[in-house]
Amino acid sequence: MDAELQDCRLCEWQCGVDRLAGEQGVCLLGEPQVALRTLHPAPPASYTVFMAGCNLRCLHCQNWDIAQWPEGRNRVDGHLAAGELAKEALKALASSLGRGIGADRIFFSGGEATCSLPFVEEVVWQARKLDPSVRINFDTNGFMTEESLRRVLSWTTSVTFDLRAVDDEVHRALTGAPAGPVLRNARMIAEQPEKLWEFRILVVPGVNDGQIEKLSWFIAGLGTELPVCFLAFRPNFVLEHHRGAPVSLMLKAVNTARDCGLRQVAWSGRTDLLGGPRELLQASLGPVSSLSDPGARLAAAYAMRAGCLRTVRDCGHCEARLKCGVKSYRPIRCT
């Protein structure tokens, strides 16, 4: 594990920093840190281990206090021993509460677990020494190297995989990263469909809802039986004053996906949450006319209001990547 962290190239930023010597890449992580762990009923029901830190800086992040660590959270559970965490997870799965909610696997989430991949692999190895049949889920934003994804697919039971946009302009505006590696990795996992729990598409009204049809055609081109779940955006993090997704939009997303040929489509989440004060929303709109997509323009304006220095976001190569206004943003509202 140490060697990989001394020249970190786990994700597509490939920062090459020595995390153990205090050098910082986009995720700002040193040693992997567990933010929290708990039995969790969300599908798939599991013992979920939330890893601190993330390689993206998504404006909509609902786990911002975990993902944007060390900027976003004052305390984490810390750097735990992999063997002890494995024992703890198996004990929780076998408990009456674990059985009661149907938890049947260890679920690594975040943040983005790719930033802690060597540690995650050690926990999996230790758990399978104790119980070779234990199931694993790996939750990812998809912005990992091909080699990292191959490693994950070699041992995980299932993957939950986030998609945000096909168009690079929109993806960068929302996440700070290019879309290409995520789409490439979606193609890779579609080649092993038995590993895919589902593609998850967060629907942000007025921002990436124009991507729904493009994403649906993209996934249908990989396989019409691939499972897809649209998630209703609710106001959070930098988009704390943006309106939530209405039921009508979620139903439209499902119908659009089915019209594109997808057969396993659903949606979930809280809907119709109001945005913030109208004047604050209007004040969020800035000089981003160089972007062609209206959703990208709106997202970029929110980012700039939070302190982003770039109209075209590129967090891995930004001069302010170590002191980022988006990463250090503190929302007042949480939904």
Structure tokens at 323: 């002191």
pLDDT in tens, 238-271: 999 999 999 999 999 999 999 999 999 999 999 9
Average pLDDT over residues 202-221: 97
In a domain, 285, yes or no: yes
**pLDDT tens-digit readout, 109-135:** 999 999 999 999 999 999 999 999 999
| Percent of the chain residues past pLDDT 70, beyond the cut | 95
Using the predicted structure, report yes or no on whether residue 282 has a pLDDT greater than 60.
no
Confidence class of residue 71 from pLDDT cuts 50, 70 and 90?
Answer: confident
**Residue pair 234/195 in contact by the 8 Å Cβ criterion:** no
Q: Is residue 329 part of a domain?
A: no
Domain limits at 232? 2-317
Q: Total structural domains in the chain?
A: 1
pLDDT band at 279 (very low <50, low <70, confident <90, very high): very low
Cα–Cα distance, 233 to 271 (Å, whole number):
7
Per-residue confidence (pLDDT) for residue 288, from 0 to 100: 65
Kindly state whether residue 326 falls inside one of the protein's structural domains.
Answer: no
Q: What is the 3-state secondary structure (H, E, C) of 262-284?
A: CCCEEEECCCCCCCCCHHHHHHC
Report the chain's terminal Cα–Cα distance, integer Å.
37
What digits encode the pLDDT tens for the residues 305-333? 999 998 899 999 999 989 999 999 999 88
Residue 325 belongs to some domain of the structure: no
Mean pLDDT within 205-211:
96
Could you tell me the CATH number of the domain that includes residue 281? 3.20.20.70
Q: Using the 8-state DSSP alphabet, how is residue 115 labeled?
A: G
Rounded distance between C-alpha atoms, residue 156 and residue 221, angstroms = 24
* Chain mean pLDDT for the chain: 94
Residue 292, Cβ neighbours under 10 Å: how many? Answer: 10
Q: For residue 82, give both structure tokens.
A: 């992999």
Domain contains 323:
no
Residue 283: the pLDDT is 44
Question: What is the C-alpha to C-alpha distance for residues 200 and 215, in angstroms, rounded to an integer?
Answer: 11
Mean pLDDT of 200-225: 98
Residue 269 in any domain: the answer is yes
What's the whole-number mean pLDDT along residues 20-35?
95
For residue 183, tell me if it sits in a domain. yes
Q: Residue 13's beta-bridge partner residues?
A: none
Q: Using CA atoms in the order 217, 178, 230, 293, what is the torsion angle rounded to 10 degrees?
A: -70
335 occurs within a structural domain: no
